[in-house]
Amino acid sequence: MILRFEPEGTVTTVYTEALDLAELGHVSVARASHVEPTPDGLWTADLSPVDGPVLGPFAKRSEALAAEVAWLERWLMLDNDCTGDCPCGCGEPAFPWRHPLDDHGYFDAAPSCAARIYEELKR
């Protein structure tokens, strides 16, 4: 669980029940994303509520949920910034990615390029 503490005392985290957040003070919960099925039975994680990308599609809902949490936790650690331009040269901004099912670490890519670049990195 990642907790980001702001200078004025605000704490931001991805909600879980692992910690009683009320012990830190007043709690305000806001939606950061939506995990939804696509018309063809796949799953996406839409991070637009925090100005993020749409991740996926994923074959399983659990994969979309894991990608959603991984992206949000990395976003919390990076102060919400993109990392520059996508390395493929498409001109889109890059965001940190980590495939939820392995330990290859993070790589930077535009949302539309992330799955392709990830597959290339595995080779």
pLDDT score recorded for residue 38? 93
The token pair at 80 is 């919400």
Residue 48 one-letter amino acid: S
pLDDT tens digits for 63-90? 888 888 888 887 776 654 455 666 667 7
Domain positions in the chain: 3-122
The whole-model pTM stands at 0.60
- What is the distance between the alpha carbons of residues 102 and 76, in angstroms, rounded to a whole number? 21
pLDDT tens digits for 23-68? 888 888 888 899 999 999 999 999 888 888 888 888 999 988 888 8
Q: CB–CB of 66/101 below 8 Å?
A: yes
Residue 89 one-letter amino acid: G
Looking at the chain, the whole-number percentage of residues with pLDDT higher than 70 is: 63
**Residue 93 binned pLDDT confidence (cut-offs 50, 70, 90):** low
- What is the distance between the alpha carbons of residues 57 and 44, in angstroms, rounded to a whole number? 5
